Structure 1
């Protein structure tokens, strides 16, 4: 996986995790061979909504989309918006490709690999939404630097969001919850969109349940939902 280089020691140097699991079936391999190249981003240069989707439109970015259920739901709900999703795990990418095919989603682009590398190529102030849902918690203290919710990545997310753009984060892991709250508490670039303590216990509208969330609930985990607005005056569509 291509490393993302940065002078900021709090920014991840790479993403960690498996890239493949069970062997692909013939139909799945066909999706990888035919549909994935059609949805791929250019290998270099800035990534803009106009260049990627043919005209300027609100741009969404999902970090580690898992099986792509959330991305596909949002893209189907907002067909005039553009969606870029990054996921290093091949089997998750295959599942997302099937969603794109089945829903005939022309407003999705997929990168199998490092989300930070792609995020760095998006011009500052270009994104309307960024999503980070159920990331790997890396619960051991010695692995804390591997978490996506760290000052470096969060600062990059803030730079890429428009004023009024929204950063959505979800987790079912209490260690990650506490860590994320510590990172985001009083962040100078974000306002927490919560009016009472119950807000982050309720899934907001337009936020579908993913398979990871369903699995968490089956094993008795609580799930927490966070919405942060990039400070400024513009407000993205719902």
Structure 2
């Protein structure tokens, strides 16, 4: 029987989690309408890059500065903090939750940082079109824990996500993970080395340039202990 499927159609990719939350404030709607398009790199979405051609990271920031990646930036406080602390680095933040994107855009305006790019979608879309070895550092801060055992395959620390991340990270690049969920630590310690990373450090002491996020503050209020892990791309 002849296969009549259209092979040019994009491969289906599952996405789990929320894309929208509470009604946005008027100011946040303004941020989205006025700022997001300017800060979103071209060539990431299938709409503006249907062939999934590799994009040049230098085109994102206009030069060949080091590129860092934050997966799921939440409210954006860590992302803006790192951008202000490292102005010579370009950081791309990925976040599909539009309320978090709106919060970040407000923080960018307030901090007046100019070395950030924002992808309001799945990080896999970005990793699919970045060149091999183009990311110098990556962050995964308080990712969705998906606590039910049957949902553990939805976590970021699975081969589906870690394989593309390992491809785009340079040799010797650092991958940081912060979480307050012991079982997430367990899965991270098992899966990240399998993807081509070497554990450098882990424990309850944060990095020198760390800023505590709203998710960490919530964890502390509820009696959960933060855990910080650093890996190096081997």
TM-score over 0.5 for the pair = yes
Stretch moving more, 44-53 or 100-109: 44-53
- Is the partner of 1:153 in helix, strand or coil? helix
Decide which of 109, 115, 122 is 1:101's aligned counterpart. 109
Distance change >3 Å, CA 116–CA 58, structure 1 → 2 = same
Equivalent residues of 1:14, 1:114 under 8 A apart = no
- Does the CA-based 8 Å contact 1:49-1:58 persist in structure 2? no
For structure 2, list consecutive stretches of 5 or more residues without a partner in the other structure: 1-9, 43-47
Consecutive unaligned residues in structure 1, runs of 5 or more:
7-12, 232-238
User: Is this contact kept in 2: 1:125–1:160, CA < 8 A?
Assistant: yes
Shift of 1:189: 2.0
Aligned to 2:194: 187
- The residue that corresponds to 2:183 in the other structure is 175
Partner of 2:4: none
Q: SS where residue 193 of structure 1 aligns?
A: strand
Q: 1:230 to 1:92 in 2, by over 3 A?
A: same
Q: Does 1:230 align with 2:222?
A: no
Judge which range, 18-27 or 119-128, deviates more: 18-27
Mapped contact 1:70–1:209 kept (Cα < 8 A): yes
Deviation at 1:101, TM superposition (A): 0.7
RMSD: 1.6
Alignment correspondent of 2:142: 134
**Count, aligned residues:** 217
Name the SS for the 2:108 alignment partner. helix
How high is the TM-score relative to the length of structure 1? 0.86
Q: Distance in 2 between matches of 1:48 and 1:165?
A: 19
* TM-fit CA distance, 1:34: 0.3
Structure exhibiting the larger radius of gyration computed from Cα positions: 2
Determine the structure 2 residue equivalent to 1:213: 216
Structure having greater relative contact order (Cα 8 Å, sep ≥ 6): 1
Q: Which residue of 1 aligns with 2:35?
A: 35
- 1:50 and 1:188, CA in 2 relative to 1: closer, same or farther beyond 3 A? closer
Change in 2 beyond 3 A, CA 1:72/1:82: same
1:175 CA drift (Å): 2.0
Selected match of 1:48 from 53, 56, 67: 56
The runs of 4+ residues in structure 1 deviating greater than 4 Å are none
